[in-house]
Amino acid sequence: MNSADIEKIVKQIIGEMQGSGTASAPAKASGAIPKTARVAMLTSLEHFDVKEFPIPQLGDDDILVKVEGCGVCGTDAHEFKRDPFSLIPVALGHEGTGEIVAMGKNVKVDSAGKPLNIGDKVVTCMIFKDNPDITMYDLNKQNVGGADVYGLLPDDDIHLNGWFSDYLFVRGGSTIFNVSDLDLDSRILIEPAAVLVHAVERAKTTGILRFNSRVAVQGCGPIGLLCIAVLRTMGIENIVAVDGNEQRLAFAKEMGAEKSVNFKDHQGIEALTGAVENAFGGHLADFAFQCTGSPVAHANIYKFIRNGGGLCELGFFINGGDATINPHFDICSKEITTVGSWVYTLRDYATTFDFLKRAKAIGLPVQKLITHRFPLDQINEALKTNLAMQGLKIAIVNQ
């Protein structure tokens, strides 16, 4: 056997290990990958078309993910209803997860340094731009707002840009995390949960939020409920939930709230403030989280907070309008410390994996947040269900 024969055999073995006849081809899963993928494309206001596009050839730094599921976010609902970011036509879905079925030869580890292999379950976070402030180990310098996100990308010749699809094409330069140790429902909730991990980290910078703090959480949609869960996993127990929906308030208690206040039962801000105070045993809140996106709710929440207390506002992901407050009575004379919170950093994203494990370990029913599951071809119904505020978290789940 000469050197040419040996070289040929070595190339053949390497090619077989990578699922292809050449050493430089991307690694692929054992199952057949189709030539096309279905993508739910928002083509006009309040209407998705499920289209079929060819699956592009992967580059050396790219990853192909078979989508298993994706949550419907309030941002998706805003885009569906009003297209505030002027993205139509667009492939939406950024709360997604799936399984790696092919990847380029340069892909070895995820964004936290964990090995990546075919068959691993993954989530994406952001696509890097030329911004040195966005780094894995930079705690609060730059949130995800400074980068692109799958599910909010302008349409291009790839098309597989959002998680409302059969496959996601993850380009080189993207952040990706191996979350194979989490179940599907937990993985679908990673993105919204990261919003609350970030918010609580922001709240902690005030020095006011502590184990024995009295904490009011206003708004018990998925964001407020996850806020309660994050606080509970940190050992904070004296939590009062404020909302106008009894079903959501009941679930808030399952997630860790000690008491609840239905604002519909109280006429006027003084009566509502009194109800919150009574729920805390005659005290105002040490700290409050405002999760509603309602200007009226924002104006009200200052009244719930004691002198020297703190507030984290995270409900306004987009422009929800102006709120009317009295700077003297609401902020200055009470010396309230206020922080804003918007999405998350990469570090918060990684921390969220541990939060979800901890929540499960102490018995919080986080997965019950997902109340409705729709197949991809019923995505219009899924978005309408979300807009009608039926249930809590709506998800697209591929069979």
Q: For 155-186, what is each residue's pLDDT tens digit?
A: 999 999 999 999 999 999 899 999 999 999 99
Check: CB of residue 123 under 8 Å from CB of residue 176. yes
Q: What is the pLDDT of residues 284-333, one digit of tens each?
A: 999 999 999 999 999 999 999 999 999 999 988 778 899 999 999 999 99
Taking the C-alpha atoms of residue 172 and residue 162, their distance in angstroms, rounded to an integer, is 16
CATH number listed for the domain at residues 194-340: 3.40.50.720
> Each residue of 205-223: b (16+ CB within 10 Å) or e?
ebebbeeebbbbbbbbbbb
Q: In 3D, which of 245, 250, 221 has the Cα closest to residue 74?
A: 221
Helix orientation angle between 190-204 and 222-233, rounded to the nearest 10 degrees: 60
Tokens found for residue 333? 């004379």
Give residue 279's pLDDT band: very low, low, confident or very high (50, 70, 90): very high
Threshold 0.85, pTM exceeds: yes
**What residues does each domain of the chain span?**
31-188+365-397, 194-340
pLDDT at 148: 86
CATH architecture of 31-188+365-397: Alpha-Beta Complex (3.90)
Helix, coil or strand: residue 368: helix
In the prediction, which pLDDT does 347 show?
Answer: 85
Q: Which residues pair with 36 in a beta bridge?
A: 54
Write down the pLDDT at residue 30: 57
Tokens representing 173 are: 């330069």
Over residues 65-69, mean pLDDT: 98
Q: How far apart are CA 225 and CA 208, in angstroms?
A: 21
Domains 31-188+365-397 and 194-340 in one fold: no
Opening angle at CA 23, ends 20 and 25, nearest 5: 55
Residue the block writes with tokens 């208690």 = 253
**Scanning the structure block, which residue is given the tokens 């402030």?**
133
> How much is the mean pLDDT over the chain?
90
**Radius of gyration of the chain from its Cα atoms, rounded to whole angstroms:** 23
- Classify the C-alpha dihedral 357-359-363-365 as positive or negative: negative
Q: Nearest-CA neighbor of 257 among 277, 237, 276?
A: 237
pLDDT digits (tens, 9 = 90+) for 86-118: 999 999 999 999 999 999 999 999 988 999 999
* Residues paired with 312 in a beta bridge: 289, 339
- 25 pLDDT band, cuts 50/70/90, is low
| Residue 129 scores a pLDDT above 90 | no
User: In the numeric block, which tokens belong to residue 85?
Assistant: 């970011």
Whether the pLDDT of residue 134 is over 80: the answer is: no
- pLDDT tens for each residue of 190-235: 999 999 999 999 999 999 999 999 999 999 999 999 999 999 999 9
Summarised one tens digit per residue, pLDDT across range 71-90 is 999 889 999 999 988 999 99
CA 374/CA 211 separation, integer angstroms? 39
> Does the pLDDT of residue 383 top 90, yes or no?
yes
